[in-house]
Amino acid sequence: MPRDLEDLHKGATVPGDCGAPHDVMPPWMDRDRFNRGRDFFQRHLPGIFMSHYINVIFGFGVGSILDVLLYTGKSSSPEQAMKRYISTVRRLILWHDGDVWDVNSKAHRSVMAVRNMHGRVARAITKDRKGRGCEPEHNENYSSGVTAVSGSDRVYISQYDMALTQAGFIGFVLYPEKFGILCTIAELEDYIFFWRGIGYLLGMEDEYNMCSGNYAETCRIISQIENELIKPGFQNPPEGFDLATTSFIDGMQLYLKGNHLAKDVMFSFVYDLMDLPMYKVSLDDLYMFIAMKGVVFNTERVPGLSGFAISHLSAVLNDLAVLPTAGIKAKRSVIAENKSSS
């Protein structure tokens, strides 16, 4: 079990898939606890959805993760970023709704599809980079945590990268109240345990599975990731950061009407979350950020608000799931016209 970020970093030269069998549960698996973690997602969907959205933006600040995303081309334009995020959300819902331990279930096949995809991408990048005999350029003032790994020793989608990505899905446990999630530490530990199981199925070794510990141990690692990787990544962004963040946020704006998820609003939320100096925005965006922060914080505090949010979010996700490419391009055209006229 990793004790800190340094322990995780040892996995930077270890392939992300340890080859563990996908059809055998690990000896530490507690199905009742795992299922309680699944139920946690259902009860706190709005806050968790918001945290996942924010953590996608966080991930763009980590050079090793951003490098892979940009290589695949799935974060290089609003259309591509939107399609990628919708696909991720649909998988997450399936993993929480279905039985990932049943090898014949859609949920299990979905997890295996992601595991296999990681392997294909890792092999493709390795072959391409070695063939060209070069490494990607990065901001000299920023460390992604893999500076000691270069050249032929570089492992793409390593156990370290898997752990950092895993942190994004449970990062909210560090401050659940900021996402409007009202729960006990025991409930948070159940959700952490759920992601320990998902990590195992994706090929993570227990040695690098950051969800192997209790609440305090997990929070210690998340806090280190935030302070040593995410914050520096935002203050001195890696190459491609602006492209990825703009594509992602604009991609979501292709569907969502209004400016409640506009880039300056979301960056204000991110900076506030990490206690960074206030992000400079217009007065209108500042008002929008304050309003959004208030709604998110009070989602489970105001009677009826959580139910309304879940109902609205479900409708949005269902609509996004069937939105055709032509519809995406049409919405982009309308948004561009609105921006030029405003």
- Main-chain phi, psi angles of 130, to 5 degrees: -70, -35
Q: Give the pLDDT score at 306.
A: 82
H helix intervals, 60-176: 63-72, 78-97, 106-132, 159-170
Instruction: Output DSSP code: residue 237.
Output: P
- Between CA 91 and CA 241 the distance in angstroms is 25
Asked whether the CA dihedral 167, 173, 175, 178 is positive or negative, the reply is: positive
- Main-chain phi, psi angles of 15, to 5 degrees: -50, 145
Amino acid found at 137 = E
Q: Give the pLDDT score at 116.
A: 96
| Closest to 182 measured CA to CA, from 290, 303, 7, 24 | 303
- Main-chain phi, psi angles of 158, to 5 degrees: -85, 175
Residues lower than pLDDT 70 in the chain: 131-153, 255-260, 316-342
Q: Give the pLDDT score at 131.
A: 64
- Between CA 49 and CA 89 the distance in angstroms is 9
**Total Cβ atoms within 10 A of residue 143:** 17
Which H or E run contains 263? Answer: helix 263-273
| Closest to 78 measured CA to CA, from 238, 240, 254, 242 | 254
Instruction: Answer yes or no: are the C-beta atoms of 150 and 136 closer than 8 Å.
Output: no
SS3 1: coil
- Between CA 6 and CA 13 the distance in angstroms is 13
Instruction: Output DSSP code: residue 261.
Output: T
Largest CA distance in the chain: 61
Amino acid found at 248 = F
| Closest to 136 measured CA to CA, from 231, 63, 244 | 63
Q: Give the pLDDT score at 321.
A: 53
